[in-house]
Amino acid sequence: MTRRTTHVAALTLAASLLAAGCTSSGEDGEGSTFAPKDPKAAAMAAAQTYMEAAGRGDWKTACPLKSQGLLGGTVEQCIASRTDGDPSPSPSGSGPEPAGAAQFKASDAVEVAAVGKHPAGFGVLVTQTGTEPGKPAETERVALRLVEEGGSWKVDQRERVRPKDMAREPDMPALVRAVITAGGE
């Protein structure tokens, strides 16, 4: 093999390993070479980022995190429909959060089966806690279905979790599966 052919083969191998979601530096904490990335952690990170962006009205960040099924069009159409002609997002991470700003926490990701038009993926419970000055703290919960699409995790379903859902199913994995399944039918 010529030096050029060897170089092209090495680049092709590296590109295919990156496309397969592998790293060469052991970034998964295992210290192994070419270990696959943790899909649960990636799904949880996508869920958290999506909810934080949607909470601040940052649709330039939130819309690309929606699956084609949830998006219902293009990312540009999503952004335009959410910003009413003002495509500039709210400030993100550029300083301290304003008083009463919502805080988001993503639960552990659980596997969820396909239902209706929604493919199998991971379910994540996101808890939002926020306060407005002079009002008691409010907590809302949302169950998200995340699916792998185009090499990254996208939100495919968003269901509000009501207090009666939590009373009926106090176990987090079962709660997420029940809410997502009921909302997906």
pLDDT over threshold 90, residue 26: no
The percent of residues above 90 in pLDDT, for the chain, comes to: 51
Mean pLDDT across 66-93:
76
d(CA 125, CA 142): 6
Q: Topology of domain 39-184, per CATH?
A: Nuclear Transport Factor 2; Chain: A, (3.10.450)
- Helix (H/G/I), strand (E/B), else coil: 20: coil
Kindly state the DSSP code that residue 66 receives in the 8-state scheme.
B
pTM here is 0.70
d(CA 180, CA 159): 7
147 and 121 in contact (C-beta within 8 Å)? yes
Q: What phi, psi does 15 have (nearest 5°)?
A: -65, -40
d(CA 61, CA 49): 8
Mean pLDDT across 22-50:
66
Regarding beta strands 152-161 and 110-112, do their DSSP bridges make them parallel or antiparallel, or are they unpaired?
Answer: unpaired
Q: What phi, psi does 10 have (nearest 5°)?
A: -65, -40
Give DSSP secondary structure letters for 75-127: HHHHHHHHHTT--PPPP-SSSSPPTT--EEEE---EEE--BTTBPSEEEEEEE
115 DSSP β-pair partners? 118
The pLDDT score that the predictor gives to residue 139 is: 87
End-to-end CA distance of the chain: 56
35 confidence band (pLDDT: 50, 70, 90): very low
Of residues 180, 158, 148, 2, the one with CA closest to residue 70 = 158
pLDDT over threshold 60, residue 88: no
Kindly state the DSSP code that residue 149 receives in the 8-state scheme.
E
Question: How many CB atoms are located within 10 Å of the residue 95 CB?
Answer: 6
118-142 pLDDT, tens digit each: 999 999 999 988 766 677 778 899 9
d(CA 162, CA 82): 25
pLDDT over threshold 60, residue 22: no
pLDDT over threshold 80, residue 50: yes
